[in-house]
Amino acid sequence: MGWRSQRVGSITASATVSMTDRVKQLRAEGRNIIGLATGTPDFDTPAHIKEAGKAAIDVDLAYITYTHSAGLPELREAVVAKLARENDVRASVEEVLVTIGVKQGLFTAAQACFDPGDEVLIPTPTWVTYEACFRLAGAVPVFVACRPEDGFRADPERLAAAITPRTRAIMLNSPGNPAGGVIPADSLAAIARLAERHDLLVFSDEIYEHMVYDGHRHVSIASLPGMFERTLTFNGLSKTYAMTGWRVGYVAGPRTILRDMQKIHTHSVTCAAAFAQKAAAVALDGPQDTLREYIRVLGERRRQLLDGLNGIPGVRCAPPDGGIFCFPDVTALGPDDRAISAAFLEQALVSSLPGSAFGPGGEGHLRINFARRDPADIDEAIDRLRRASERL
């Protein structure tokens, strides 16, 4: 077959999506699956945000036609205000670009920033999409394994050891997917010094910024002195406001890079859906009480899943600092996390993802989502996993 590019041959389909397909198939066969594999919060978008989206469609042509390729002005202004208020990041409107979720932001940034052969450091275990975005841009992902005893948080010394003359950027994701690590402020400062010393760009995916527990605190690396100029901060509405299907995200960073990304927008996506952008502006500018309640509930579900998993013989789970996943060590149940995840799906009807799907260091773990509305789902999942683990 002569129609397949080498670039697409260099990536594999997302493990999450493959699992979702298998779950759909089992559900179609009438099996009652508890789906804890994906990164989708099982929560509803707050009512006032939904209303804003619906109203926007009826109110004005501006919300059902193309927006500016950098995004709706009121959303960019809302992002500027949010970054100042919550992240201590001072950006102007020209330093904000609206994207179709963090995913499309990352994809476009990789196209704008990298040439073939450029190396990007990725602490692992890591969300699978970074590798694919960088490879599709011709860049070379360089995995830097983090240690379970460090809570899988990115370690500046390990990053420093992986730098070569071809290194162009460091990928950060804090709180992290899959292991939930929140990079402490002193490590972030050390990573910032590294970036300055070696003239590196930092990609910082902060989509789980509000989901922090046990006193952990999220810090935006772009707020550190001199870092805004060399950082692209990626964020979005998907997790914070339970808006995964609305597909709105944003990037803040140096205007020269954003201008290049915008140029790519004009030829690729044009813009995110106009009415979804309007709803996103209302989400960021509006009351945050539903968000506070949502984070409180997530904290309870995290504790419930954590305690439940640690009560299963052969499963050990360290408390995640942040995010929406537990990442238990299941090596005592068997040598192959993929086989364990598959057995849990087929026998317990609980979907999870094998840790080895997330790169070096993830082996022997499972990623399990605790962002469920109903606590009974988690009790039931734990019950089923306990029974299935006894049969492994």
Ligand X SMILES: Cc1ncc(COP(=O)(O)O)c(C=O)c1O
Candidate list 76, 103, 230, 278; residue touching ligand X; CB under 6 A: 103
What is the Cα gyration radius of the chain?
21
User: Min. distance of Cβ 116 from ligand X in angstroms?
Assistant: 25
Q: Is 364 left (phi over 0), alpha (psi -120 to 50) or beta?
A: left
* Token pair for 252: 């803040």
User: Min. distance of Cβ 106 from ligand X in angstroms?
Assistant: 8
CA atoms of 159 and 345, how far apart (whole Å): 36
Q: Count CB neighbours of 51 within 10 A.
A: 13
Whether residue 221 contacts residue 188, with contact meaning beta carbons closer than 8 Å, is answered with yes
Q: Is the peptide bond before 320 cis (omega within 30 degrees of 0)?
A: no
Tally helices (H) and strands (E) across the chain. Answer: 13, 12
Number of residues in contact with ligand X under rule CB under 6 A: 13
As a residue count, the chain comes to 392
Site string for ligand X, 176-215 (x = CB under 6 A): -x---------------------------x-x--------
Nearer to ligand X, 119 or 205 (CB): 205
User: Min. distance of Cβ 164 from ligand X in angstroms?
Assistant: 26
351 is an interface residue for ligand X by CB under 6 A = no
Site string for ligand X, 117-136 (x = CB under 6 A): ----------x---------
236 is an interface residue for ligand X by CB under 6 A = yes
156 is an interface residue for ligand X by CB under 6 A = no
Strands (E), 33-183: 34-35, 96-99, 119-124, 140-145, 167-173
357 is an interface residue for ligand X by CB under 6 A = no
CA atoms of 363 and 348, how far apart (whole Å): 21
Candidate list 33, 56, 89, 102; residue touching ligand X; CB under 6 A: 102
DSSP secondary structure string for all residues of 167-188: EEEEEEESS-TTT-----HHHH
Residue closest to ligand X when measured from CB atoms = 101
Residue in 319, 314, 339, 316 with CA at minimum distance from that of residue 328:
316
User: Min. distance of Cβ 218 from ligand X in angstroms?
Assistant: 13
Candidate list 108, 167, 173, 356; residue touching ligand X; CB under 6 A: 173
321 is an interface residue for ligand X by CB under 6 A = no
Nearer to ligand X, 163 or 371 (CB): 371
User: Min. distance of Cβ 249 from ligand X in angstroms?
Assistant: 4
Nearer to ligand X, 163 or 232 (CB): 232
Q: Where are the alpha helices (DSSP H) in 162-254?
A: 185-197
* Token pair for 214: 């046990």
Nearer to ligand X, 228 or 246 (CB): 246
Element (H, E) at 161: helix 156-161
Candidate list 10, 244, 310, 347; residue touching ligand X; CB under 6 A: 244
Pairing of strands 119-124, 140-145: parallel
Site string for ligand X, 39-78 (x = CB under 6 A): x---------------------------------------
Q: Which range binds ligand X by CB under 6 A, 96-104, 117-125, 190-198, 331-339?
A: 96-104
Q: Which range binds ligand X by CB under 6 A, 29-37, 41-49, 191-199, 236-244?
A: 236-244
Candidate list 249, 253, 308, 364; residue touching ligand X; CB under 6 A: 249
Residue in 32, 43, 45, 44 with CA at minimum distance from that of residue 372:
43
CA atoms of 266 and 248, how far apart (whole Å): 17
User: Min. distance of Cβ 243 from ligand X in angstroms?
Assistant: 8
Residue whose pair of structure tokens reads 């009415």 in the numeric block: 275
355 is an interface residue for ligand X by CB under 6 A = no
Q: Is 359 left (phi over 0), alpha (psi -120 to 50) or beta?
A: left
Whether residue 152 contacts residue 146, with contact meaning beta carbons closer than 8 Å, is answered with yes
* Token pair for 228: 């805004």
Q: Which range binds ligand X by CB under 6 A, 48-56, 66-74, 99-107, 286-294?
A: 99-107
220 is an interface residue for ligand X by CB under 6 A = no
User: Min. distance of Cβ 314 from ligand X in angstroms?
Assistant: 27
Judged by the rule CB under 6 A, the positions of this chain that interact with ligand X are 39, 101-103, 127, 173, 177, 205, 207, 236, 238, 244, 249
